[in-house]
Amino acid sequence: MPRNPPPLDLPVEYVRGIGPKRAAAFKKVGVRSLRDLLFYAPRRYLDRSTAIPIRELHGPSEEEVTVVGTVIDTRETKMRKGGTRYEALLDDGLSSLTLVWFKHTSGIRKWITTGYSAAFSGKVVEFNRFLQMVHPDVTELSKGEVSDLLAGKGRWVAIYPGNKELDKAGLDMRGLRTLMDRIVGEYLPDIEDFWTEEDRIKFEIPELEKALMAVHRPRSAEDHLMGWNRLKLDELVMLQLTWVYAKEHRRQRARGISYPEVGKTTRAMIEKLPFKLTETQRKILREIWSDMTSPHAMSRLLQGDVGSGKTVVALIAMTIAVENGYQAALMVPTEILAEQHYLTSRKFLKGLGVHVELLLGGSKTKAKQEQLDRIASGKPCIVIGTHALIQDAVNFSRLGFVVIDEQHRFGVTQRMKLMDPGMEQRPDVLVMTATPIPRSLGLTLYGDLDVSRLDEMPPGRGKISTIAINGKTGRAEMYAEVRKQVENGGQAYIVFPLVEESEKLDLQAAVESKADLEQTYLKGLPLGLLHGRMKLTEKEEAMAKFVRGETKILVSTTVIEVGVDVENATEMVVEHAERFGLAQLHQLRGRVGRGGRDSRCYLVGYPEITETARARIRTLVRTNDGFEVAEEDLRIRGAGDFFGVRQHGLPELRYADIVADQGLLIKARNIADQIIEDDPTLKKRPKLKAEFSRTAAKKVTWLEIA
Ligand code: ADP
Ligand code: MG
């Protein structure tokens, strides 16, 4: 008689051997249907190669080891100091080992009794010349599993993620495994692949049934890898399909501006630049121009290291917009940077009749009101400012082009607010970042943006050397070198970290350090001071003096972090480098080496320095490449921490890890792109479409798939 398999969306409650109580417990771990059960992957595996025969333990071990066997005797003794000590003698057929628990042993006494078989993992210590394992981790096993493992023929034992609820429903570690073993044996053959055979061959995707079998019952390391890679790839393809759809959808729904021409003004501006654009800058301008002429709104990410020349690219694009009768906005994270961009744009646009406004926060003066009125009147102009730009009082009536500089300083919401301002016609948006984002993270966070990479530095730059300095012993020599360079016409930044996030202390540290340096190492040289507590005009004045070379050395807190450009600066001293993140240090280093002279960046660390801080400094000493620094930053910190990604809405992944599985992520994006290109509505792939709606539907409720 042909078997009549249950549908895979059968609620777990109705699966044989489960029932309402266990179903409720499963719901807590996100398992609702029979299909979910088949996709419930083990948390880890016990592999026979990691379990050692007891007689091979010859002494105490620093590493954790695993032994397998059956408990043949137990005893409990009172300790002199109070409390109890519980011992179990574990036998693996050839030798035995004592397992020990101290203090609250009543639970253990009931649980680990004679005849109990399991794998025990922990460190081995020596006590009264006998070896023992203290407070081991326990992985419960059946007798059969134990003898399989001891005989060396056992397959890997899957350990499923359990919890209290499952425990209470009678699904402890062993119970869960027995149940899963049966479910997999019974129902896995009914699973249908949602990839077509053609796609599977084309993209080298293993079969679903085989892959899931390998996840639940791996037979070898390769088998295990194959299975997990399939689950990860599926998850990542679904995520990338979401982004590719979001992008398509935005293109189709929002009407963009079609700029008709690059006019005389822009051409004149490019002519008059004091340098020739690099080949890469021109390539990127062509990409931007092609977005600007198309009827779709541009959403482009421009990545380029500090000093690679993004600003001029953005200014050219904004000039095109203004020349065509639109307003263009440039949003930057700090006022000091807004100032600097303002000065730069005035310089590059001098005599060309392009009006530039600098819009800062603060009180509403008469002058500011007039400025807001000009913006509201729709007069074509470039407006440069901080997030003050997206406040309600600012009323752009002909916003055609938006640049967001140092994007990672703003949240995703702010980006979206500028990208989708609820206007009938969406402005073109160029997002810029000097914190290069590793490709994998970019795909995960900005998968809906087109990406341009400015990976060529303007010519004629000097070399930057990065030197790690021991703060206890190396400062005198370092400052002597700084002094020498300054006396030879260079300029220096000396940066102190923000102390405990307190502006008051920050101020104190900077002021005191400056006074200290003035009396010691840098006596007689003109020092300036810049810190977050100063008024804007004071900051400007301090910066201006440094730019003019009236002060040769600028002692500052991290306010100079982004964008500031002084060609003559060749020395960067970062005091307490251990308190800065990798990306921040890279940014600071980018402040020097902007002119033709060779430069030096000193990273001063102090004895309390941690191993991760040391690793950060080593990375910077090794490489100047921002993309490499970013990859390393992501690796050291993990995705969750990489410039506070959590805030930026990093999607939660069940199987894949965007740091460890970068290769799969890139493969997933390629697959998603190819599929959408070939089959935009997934008409030819109904099963994949169903799987996509099932897994991605919640994330993109606004997405209509035709
Ligand atoms: P970013 O914003 O990418 O950090 P900037 O746009 O501030 O970099 O550029 C750094 C410096 O290089 C500026 O002084 C800028 O005028 C200059 N610059 C930009 N493009 C070129 C080029 N093609 N050739 C020479 N100098 C350039
Ligand atoms: Mg910049």
Output the pLDDT for position 706: 27
Output the pLDDT for position 450: 86
> 278 alpha carbon to ligand 1 midpoint, in Å?
10
Which residues are near ligand 1 (CB < 6 Å)? 275-278, 281, 304, 306-312, 434, 458, 565, 594
> 291 alpha carbon to ligand 2 midpoint, in Å?
21
Determine which residue's CA is closest to atom 20 belonging to ligand 1: 309
> 380 alpha carbon to ligand 1 midpoint, in Å?
25
CA-closest candidate to residue 321, choices 258, 377, 384, 252:
258
Atom of ligand 1 nearest to the CA of 311: 6
Q: Which of 273, 283, 312, 347 to mutate to test the pocket of ligand 1 (most atoms within 8 A of CB)?
A: 312
- pLDDT tens per residue, range 378-419: 999 999 998 888 777 778 888 999 999 876 666 555 655 665
Identity of the amino acid at 614: R
For residue 405, the ligand closest to its alpha carbon is 2
Identity of the amino acid at 262: V
Determine which residue's CA is closest to atom 14 belonging to ligand 1: 565
Domains 49-159 and 473-605 share a fold: no
CA-closest candidate to residue 152, choices 246, 55, 35, 50:
50
pLDDT of 322 higher than 60: yes
Output the pLDDT for position 62: 79
- Cα separation, 145 vs 143, in Å, equals 5
pLDDT of 700 higher than 50: no
SS3 600: strand
Output the pLDDT for position 646: 44
Output the pLDDT for position 9: 87
Any idea which of 227-231, 300-304, 657-661 has the lowest mean pLDDT?
657-661
Atom of ligand 1 nearest to the CA of 278: 23
CATH topology of domain 49-159: OB fold (Dihydrolipoamide Acetyltransferase, E2P) (2.40.50)
> 337 alpha carbon to ligand 2 midpoint, in Å?
9
Distance of CA 367 to the CA centre of its chain: 42
pLDDT band, very low/low/confident/very high, at 427 (cuts 50, 70, 90): confident
> 583 alpha carbon to ligand 1 midpoint, in Å?
20
Atom of ligand 1 nearest to the CA of 276: 23
- pLDDT tens per residue, range 532-555: 778 878 887 888 899 889 999 999
Query: For domain 1-43+164-189, is the CATH number 1.10.150?
Result: yes
Determine which residue's CA is closest to atom 18 belonging to ligand 1: 309
Determine which residue's CA is closest to atom 17 belonging to ligand 1: 309
647 versus 78: the higher-pLDDT residue is 78
SS3 99: strand
Output the pLDDT for position 501: 55
For residue 315, the ligand closest to its alpha carbon is 1
pLDDT band, very low/low/confident/very high, at 635 (cuts 50, 70, 90): confident
- For strand 117-122 and strand 65-78, is the pairing parallel, antiparallel, or unpaired? antiparallel
pLDDT band, very low/low/confident/very high, at 705 (cuts 50, 70, 90): very low
Output the pLDDT for position 154: 57
> 229 alpha carbon to ligand 2 midpoint, in Å?
39
From the number of C-beta atoms within 10 Å of its C-beta (0-12, 13-18, 19+), residue 496 rates as buried
SS3 141: coil
- Cα separation, 28 vs 12, in Å, equals 12
Looking at the structure, give the CATH architecture of the domain made up of residues 264-293+308-433.
3-Layer(aba) Sandwich (3.40)
Output the pLDDT for position 521: 94
Atom of ligand 1 nearest to the CA of 304: 3
> 137 alpha carbon to ligand 1 midpoint, in Å?
58
Atom of ligand 1 nearest to the CA of 590: 4
b/e per residue, 444-474, with b = 16+ CB within 10 A?
bbbbbbebbbbebbbeebeebebbbbebeee
Q: Read off the pLDDT of each residue in 585-602 and give the average, rounded to a whole number.
A: 89
Output the pLDDT for position 318: 97
Mean pLDDT: which of 139-143, 240-244, 568-572, 640-644 is highest? 568-572
- pLDDT tens per residue, range 489-505: 999 999 988 755 555 66
Per the structure block, which two tokens stand in for 51?
A: 């379990």
For residue 406, the ligand closest to its alpha carbon is 2
Residue extents of the structural domains in the chain: 1-43+164-189, 49-159, 264-293+308-433, 473-605
Please give the share of the chain, as a percent, with pLDDT higher than 90. Answer: 42
Please give the share of the chain, as a percent, with pLDDT higher than 70. Answer: 88
Question: Given 3.40.470.10, 3.40.50.300, 1.10.3720.10, 3.40.50.11900, which CATH number is that of 473-605?
Answer: 3.40.50.300
Q: Concatenated DSSP letters for 184-238?
A: HHHHGGG---SS-HHHHHHHT---HHHHHHHHHS-SSHHHHHHHHHHHHHHHHHH
Output the pLDDT for position 584: 83
> 307 alpha carbon to ligand 1 midpoint, in Å?
5
> 320 alpha carbon to ligand 2 midpoint, in Å?
19
Output the pLDDT for position 155: 63
> 310 alpha carbon to ligand 1 midpoint, in Å?
7
- Cα separation, 99 vs 136, in Å, equals 7
Q: Is the pTM of this model over 0.85?
A: no
pLDDT, the chain, mean? 85
- Cα separation, 452 vs 688, in Å, equals 31
Atom of ligand 1 nearest to the CA of 308: 3
Per the structure block, which two tokens stand in for 198?
A: 């053609």
Output the pLDDT for position 561: 47
For residue 404, the ligand closest to its alpha carbon is 2
104 versus 670: the higher-pLDDT residue is 670
For 416, the enclosing helix (H) or strand (E) is helix 412-419
Q: Which of 565, 599, 624 to mutate to test the pocket of ligand 1 (most atoms within 8 A of CB)?
A: 565
Atom of ligand 1 nearest to the CA of 277: 23
- pLDDT tens per residue, range 62-106: 777 889 999 999 998 888 877 888 999 999 888 999 999 987 677
Q: Which of 272, 279, 282, 311 to mutate to test the pocket of ligand 1 (most atoms within 8 A of CB)?
A: 311
Any idea which of 45-59, 183-197, 416-430, 651-665 has the lowest mean pLDDT?
416-430
> 13 alpha carbon to ligand 1 midpoint, in Å?
64
- pLDDT tens per residue, range 147-177: 877 776 656 788 899 888 998 898 888 889 8
- pLDDT tens per residue, range 272-300: 999 999 999 999 999 999 999 988 888 89
Output the pLDDT for position 328: 95
Residues 6 or more apart whose Cβ sits within 8 Å of residue 554: 491, 492, 493, 494, 527, 528, 529, 530, 542, 546, 560
- Cα separation, 539 vs 535, in Å, equals 6
Q: CA angle at residue 113 from 107 to 116, to 5 degrees?
A: 115
Residue that the structure tokens 């703003």 belong to? 410
Atom of ligand 1 nearest to the CA of 306: 4
Per the structure block, which two tokens stand in for 583?
A: 């990306």
In DSSP terms, which residues pair with 384 in a beta bridge?
Answer: 330, 358
Output the pLDDT for position 278: 95
Atom of ligand 1 nearest to the CA of 460: 25
217 versus 434: the higher-pLDDT residue is 217
Determine which residue's CA is closest to atom 27 belonging to ligand 1: 458
> 435 alpha carbon to ligand 2 midpoint, in Å?
10
Q: Read off the pLDDT of each residue in 621-638 and give the average, rounded to a whole number.
A: 84
pLDDT band, very low/low/confident/very high, at 658 (cuts 50, 70, 90): confident
- Cα separation, 380 vs 372, in Å, equals 13
Rounded to the nearest 10 degrees, how much is the dihedral formed by the CA atoms of 286, 289, 290, 294?
Answer: 180
Q: Concatenated DSSP letters for 121-154?
A: EE-EEEETTEEEEES-EEEE--HHHHHHHHTT--
CA-closest candidate to residue 294, choices 242, 254, 245, 246:
254
Determine which residue's CA is closest to atom 12 belonging to ligand 1: 309
